[in-house]
Amino acid sequence: MKVLWLSPWLRTLTRVQVDALTTAGHECLVVTTDQHYEKVAARSDERVLDPAIKDPRTLPALARVTAEARRFGPDVVVSELMHDPRWLPMTRLAPLVQVVHDDRPHDATEERPWHQRAVLDHQTRSAAAVVAPSAHVAAVLSARFGRRIDVVPVTSDVPEAALPPVPVPASERRDFVLLGRMSPYKNVEVALRAWAAHTASPAHRGDRLLLLGNGPLSELDLPEHVEWRREHFSYADVLPDLARAKGSLAHYRLATQSGVQVLSMQLGVPTIVSDSGGLPEFAPPSLPPLPIDDVAGLTAVFGRLADPAVAAEVGAAARAHYLAHFSADRAAEGWATVFARVSAAAGSERRAPSVG
């Protein structure tokens, strides 16, 4: 099957997914931009467009890519966080599969302008199929739009070949990590209260809590044994620290899915998550989710995972859980199922006899 994938924002995740689809025998063409924080060189299956909507100098390249996409002759078009109206003609080249990652903004810093919401909602209403990463998001979208929503769980956007040796043995485990854009929904204040209680207890074994990322949070009262690296990181910068961590925090106040959660499981790191949104659906049974304000419960988890042998054992179980349910191959199977149904429905419509 030929797949045209429109993904202006999630370039690294798209690469992992189309590589798995290509391995499974599908042919993919990706239209993207250079807006992702992980800067990469263009591949032969990518067409990279300038996202500057108001600059007329971007139009010739857009016209060339649109014409190439038409010649490609896709069987299905995937649109993922695409709200540029200039790209809409490409969504009409074949039955559209619209991808919606979140049912709502995480906080005020993620509110979109009305015209972007209008484009995204139009695609969600008119698409041949809509895909969400979790049953939680699917249920909200189904109620809002009154239509079926398929679930294809999100995979990690780091290829297996790019990982350091994992899982890391107990003898090399140290520290806990909170990775990503430091926004209010990340629940950092609760994490810091629990960490202060942990470091004041006999369970503390000298580990640090590493906050890795910049963001709108500006002032935090950091307790002892906390290090905040306020930068925009590439994966090469953070994977070594994350892979050897005793635990990865995705204990968010509002989250419909978490790339940090699946990346941590992929690396064989215990994932500490809240009971918010879709996070419990991804959590391995060895480390159940916690309520968002459960400081005592979070402190107890820090104490349990401070033992490097326990951290390594729980981490290995997390990686096995990832490989069984959220690997790129598993995601490709889910996408292929959706594509086959959409293509079959389109074929039935073309074969249906006209009336009158």
Between the CA atoms of 100, 106, 107 and 110, what dihedral angle is there, to the nearest 10 degrees?
-40
Q: What is the pLDDT at residue 132?
A: 96
Long-range contacts of the stretch 83-86 (C-beta < 8 A, 24+):
83/112, 83/115, 83/116, 83/117, 83/119, 83/120, 84/8, 84/51, 84/53, 84/119, 85/53, 85/119, 86/53, 86/59, 86/62
Mean residue pLDDT of the chain comes to 93
- The Cα 53–Cα 51 span in angstroms is 6
- The Cα 173–Cα 313 span in angstroms is 11
Residues with Cβ within 8 Å of 21's Cβ and at least 6 positions away in sequence, in order, are 3, 28, 332, 335, 336
Q: What is the pLDDT at residue 354?
A: 53
- The Cα 340–Cα 150 span in angstroms is 13
Radius of gyration of the chain (CA): 22
Look up tokens 């959590």; give the residue.
283
- The Cα 278–Cα 301 span in angstroms is 20
What is the three-class DSSP state of 148?
coil
123-146 per-position pLDDT tens digit: 999 999 999 999 999 999 999 999
Q: What is the pLDDT at residue 106?
A: 60
Choose among 325, 338, 6, 327: nearest CA to 150: 338
- The Cα 194–Cα 24 span in angstroms is 45
The low-confidence residues of the chain, meaning pLDDT below 50, are: 355-356
Residues shown for the chain:
356
> How far does CA 90 lie from the centroid of its chain?
24
- What whole-number percentage of the chain has pLDDT above 70? 95
Residues with Cβ within 8 Å of 151's Cβ and at least 6 positions away in sequence, in order, are 131, 132, 133, 134, 135, 138, 334
Count Cβ atoms within 10 A of the Cβ of residue 178 and give its class: 0-12 exposed, 13-18 middle, 19 or more buried.
buried
Q: Give CA separation, 199 vs 229, 253, 303, in Å.
A: 20, 23, 9
Residues with Cβ within 8 Å of 144's Cβ and at least 6 positions away in sequence, in order, are 103
The count of other CB atoms within 10 Å of the CB of residue 212 is: 20
Count Cβ atoms within 10 A of the Cβ of residue 248 and give its class: 0-12 exposed, 13-18 middle, 19 or more buried.
buried
- What whole-number percentage of the chain has pLDDT above 90? 80
- The Cα 196–Cα 30 span in angstroms is 46
Domains of the chain plus CATH, in order, are: 2-155+328-351 (3.40.50.2000), 160-325 (3.40.50.2000)
What is the three-class DSSP state of 132?
strand
Query: Is this structure's pTM higher than 0.85?
Result: yes
